[in-house]
Structure 1
Amino acid sequence: MSWRNVHIGKENDQFALKGVKVWQQEWRWINGQTVRLPNPLDSSQTESFSVCEVGSARSPVRFAAARLPSRLWAFYVND
């Protein structure tokens, strides 16, 4: 599975995926899944990202998210 970085920002910013404001939704962690992905601020490091979804159960928006050491959040989506 291929992932690409789509956002780096502060918690509770206005980030939206497919029109869904991520921070204004309850995140559903998908079966405790995590993926190791590059830290987008330092590609020599990897981080553990939780695979989550938001939105309706009929049209979920899936992403991987992690809080970085810089106190920012990074988001990836599947290609």
Structure 2
Amino acid sequence: AWWGGERAPAPWDVVLPDGVDLLVLDDAPLVLAGRVALHGRLLFDDDPPARVAWQGDTRTAHLDAQLRAAELARVFDEGRAHGR
């Protein structure tokens, strides 16, 4: 994964070993970036403080969004059960 800050290179400009995919996280949707922040495997880290900050912020936002989605689903299902 890459979170390059100001200008991430085009994916085809980055040389990667076979079997490694590149995901640009700068503009990735929260649902995808959150999964990477929670479950991704770190292969290289050239800026640990920036990674830790990004990972913490993204995990928090992702988990908060999951809680909101679960609550909305519960309210929706409850409304349907009562014919609303």
Q: TM-score, normalized by length of structure 1?
A: 0.21
Higher share in strand: 1
Higher share in helix: 2
Q: Which has the larger radius of gyration?
A: 2
